[in-house]
Amino acid sequence: MVIVISNMDRFNHLVGTDVLTYSWLIESNAMVAVGELVVVTDEISGLRYFARVTTIIHDTKTGGFQVIALPIGSVGPDGSFRKPRTIPPLLSPVRQLKPDEYRLLKTFMGELEIGYMMSGNQTITDLPVGIPSAALPQHLGIFATTGMGKSNLMKVFCASAISARKAGILITDPHGEYALGEPGNASSRGLLHHPKAQEGLAVFTIRDRKDSDVYQMKSLWISHNDLSIADLGLVFDQTSGQQEIINLLLPFQTNQIIEFFVNEEVDKLPSHLKTTAYIGNHQEIAQRVRSGSADALRLVQRQISTLLDLTSRFVNPDRSSLPDIISSLDAGKVVLIDIPGISDAAELFILSAITRAIFKRKQHLFIEQGSAGKSGTVLICIEEAQRVLSQRSEKTGIFREIAMEGRKFGLGLGVITQQPKNIDKRVLAQMNTLFIMGLADRQDREIVATSAKHDLRVLDTEIQTLDRGDVIISTVGIPFPVSCHIHYFEDYLKNF
């Protein structure tokens, strides 16, 4: 049987299809854009097939354009949305979405609202996009080229979490822009301007007391025992001799280790070859490290001294904010660690200490209660995550441990980076929610596409053409990748 296609049927009707690709023709003056959502209707069965435009090319035979789309789902007479395992007939009509279909897609959205769904160049204000809080323990990746609006995304995400109170979120801010807004920009607003900040936000800061008291921010303190001697590897390269010393010291409390290295002259410690006795206050530590090399001991001592100098504004022998931080996270609050002007080394030291305490708490509750859900969901966000989760780095065990095991304790990682290709592939493979905000580097795009739970390879063109403030979201909570225009934070605050 030969199907004859009339001139009228050539346009906006399927001319080619398989289970993974739909194709139709449009006139040269018709408007369609990459990322546009359409519906193909099977007029015989009543099935509706939802698809997303991925490619547009010239059609030399008709003078119009050939449009190629990716099927994302189908809806039968019962109204259920399913993966498309069948195909619509040839010449099935192709049209834009209708309002009732917006409502159908809206049912998949979670409570942590990010923005409005996009269909090509159109922003659909009737279709807010949000991810479910239940997806957070399965880890989250935010991949954004500089200038694409990552900071605005993070503030909108936290604003939704402050309102929803469905999960605890920890985020550090070394630039001082999340709490009160961008410094020097009078119109900029921060999370402390959220109408529900008093109930859903806890800010721990290193700012002067006169500044923090105005906004009811709490002073940040990390005690010596909150730290781990192993965290020296976050900041300094370690020789094998130093690693041996650190391993020998692991059984001791950190406050004892710090006191030992601050007060002792390691050059005078008796080695295993000496018979002289140690007469200081830390007999057990001295006995443990006496087999180490003098050079390694001196390096460890110098590094501890340097770190104490870098963190002198918030590290204290006894005072600790960690119980209060953990309590706030358990209460489903956003916890902001406000540390403007701090060094990278000091930031990582803080984040490692807090992360370790949260992980231990989650493990303890899991053992006691036997379920992660009873202790609540917590997401720990790591800015510039390639610093601690690179393929070459094996120094940051606590973050890797959470990436591999955290979900069973209700604990997720939010990995934020401009360079996903520098993140360990084993960690990327654990990310079940991805936010992609324009990636110019092809290798970055390929790595993200192969790591996503949805097949994003066919969206490569759309990813390259994303504007500032646009994002593609792939998450286990939504059965298809979503294009979204992120709310502008200052405007979004007016909704609460």
Q: What percent of the chain has pLDDT over 90?
A: 48
My answer on whether 306 and 325 are in the same domain is no
pLDDT computed for residue 275 by the predictor:
45
Alpha carbons 320 and 155: distance in angstroms, whole number: 27
CB 24 within 8 A of CB 13: yes
CA atoms in the 13 A half-sphere facing the CB of 472 = 29
My answer on whether 350 and 449 are in the same domain is yes
How many CB atoms sit inside 10 A of residue 312's CB?
10
My answer on whether 43 and 181 are in the same domain is no
Residue 316 within a domain: no
Alpha carbons 261 and 240: distance in angstroms, whole number: 19
For helices 397-405 and 344-369, the axis angle rounded to 10 degrees is 40
Picking from 58, 71, 85, the residue whose alpha carbon sits closest to that of residue 14 is 71
My answer on whether 345 and 304 are in the same domain is no
In the listed set 264, 283, 310, which residue is the last one of a domain according to the structure?
310
My answer on whether 448 and 424 are in the same domain is yes
Which region among 121-125, 175-179, 211-215, 479-483 has the lowest average model confidence (pLDDT)?
Answer: 211-215
Query: What is the sign, positive or negative, of the torsion defined by CA atoms of 312, 249, 233, 429?
Result: negative
| Pairwise pLDDT comparison (279 vs 461), residue with the higher score | 461
The contacts of residue 82 (CB under 8 Å, 6+ apart) are 73, 74, 75, 76
- Residue given tokens 């993974």 in the structure block: 20
Per the prediction, the chain carries an average pLDDT of: 87
Residue 105 within a domain: no
- Residue given tokens 């917590």 in the structure block: 378
| Pairwise pLDDT comparison (79 vs 73), residue with the higher score | 73
Q: What percent of the chain has pLDDT over 70?
A: 92
Alpha carbons 243 and 236: distance in angstroms, whole number: 11
Alpha carbons 434 and 429: distance in angstroms, whole number: 11
My answer on whether 479 and 366 are in the same domain is yes
Range of the structural domain that residue 213 is part of: 112-220+321-495
Alpha carbons 292 and 340: distance in angstroms, whole number: 38
CB 433 within 8 A of CB 416: no
Residue 347 within a domain: yes
CB 446 within 8 A of CB 404: no
What is the average per-residue pLDDT within 447-468? Answer: 86
Return the CATH number at 19.
Answer: 2.40.10
Q: What is the pLDDT of residues 9-45, one digit of tens each?
A: 558 999 988 888 999 999 988 889 999 999 999 988 8
CB 369 within 8 A of CB 375: yes
pLDDT computed for residue 138 by the predictor:
92
Residue 18: strand, helix, or coil = strand
Residue 103 within a domain: no
pLDDT computed for residue 6 by the predictor:
45
Between vectors from CA 144 to CA 139 and to CA 145, what angle results, nearest 5°?
155
How many CB atoms sit inside 10 A of residue 120's CB?
18
Alpha carbons 126 and 106: distance in angstroms, whole number: 9
The contacts of residue 475 (CB under 8 Å, 6+ apart) are 131, 132, 135, 432, 433, 434, 453
My answer on whether 117 and 87 are in the same domain is no
Q: What is the pLDDT of residues 93-107, one digit of tens each?
A: 999 999 889 989 999
My answer on whether 345 and 457 are in the same domain is yes
The contacts of residue 163 (CB under 8 Å, 6+ apart) are 194, 196, 200, 496
My answer on whether 255 and 331 are in the same domain is no
How many separate helices (H) and strands (E) can be counted in the chain? 17, 21
How many CB atoms sit inside 10 A of residue 403's CB?
22
pLDDT computed for residue 7 by the predictor:
47
CB 90 within 8 A of CB 23: no
pLDDT computed for residue 235 by the predictor:
78
Residue 388: strand, helix, or coil = coil
- Residue given tokens 């002007």 in the structure block: 341
My answer on whether 295 and 237 are in the same domain is yes
Beta bridge mates, 472:
436, 483
| Pairwise pLDDT comparison (364 vs 161), residue with the higher score | 161
The contacts of residue 62 (CB under 8 Å, 6+ apart) are 10, 11, 25
- pLDDT score of 214 more than 90: no
The pTM is what? 0.88
CB 137 within 8 A of CB 407: yes
My answer on whether 410 and 262 are in the same domain is no
H helices of 45-191, in order, are: 99-106, 150-164
Residue 139 within a domain: yes
Return the CATH number at 196.
Answer: 3.40.50.300
Residue 339 within a domain: yes
In the listed set 96, 121, 148, which residue is the last one of a domain according to the structure?
96
Where does the pLDDT of residue 67 fall: very low under 50, low under 70, confident under 90, or very high at 90 and above?
very high
In the listed set 67, 96, 125, which residue is the last one of a domain according to the structure?
96
Residue 315 within a domain: no
Query: CA-based diameter of the chain, in Å?
Result: 102
Q: What is the pLDDT of residues 329-369, one digit of tens each?
A: 999 999 999 999 888 888 888 899 999 999 999 988 888 87
CA dihedral 457, 458, 463, 465 (to 10 degrees): 150
My answer on whether 463 and 379 are in the same domain is yes
Q: What is the pLDDT of residues 290-300, one digit of tens each?
A: 778 888 888 99
Alpha carbons 456 and 458: distance in angstroms, whole number: 5
Residue 107 within a domain: no
DSSP string over 325-380: HHHHHHTT-EEEEE-TT--HHHHHHHHHHHHHHHHHHHHHHHHHHS-SGGG--EEE
Tally of structural domains, the chain: 3
CB 154 within 8 A of CB 166: no
Residue 38: strand, helix, or coil = strand
What is the average per-residue pLDDT within 203-207? Answer: 93
What is the average per-residue pLDDT within 111-119? Answer: 95
pLDDT computed for residue 10 by the predictor:
59
Where does the pLDDT of residue 1 fall: very low under 50, low under 70, confident under 90, or very high at 90 and above?
very low
pLDDT computed for residue 271 by the predictor:
54
Where does the pLDDT of residue 267 fall: very low under 50, low under 70, confident under 90, or very high at 90 and above?
low
Picking from 496, 390, 483, 494, the residue whose alpha carbon sits closest to that of residue 115 is 483
Q: What is the pLDDT of residues 359-411, one digit of tens each?
A: 999 988 888 876 655 568 999 999 888 887 876 655 557 888 898 899 989 99
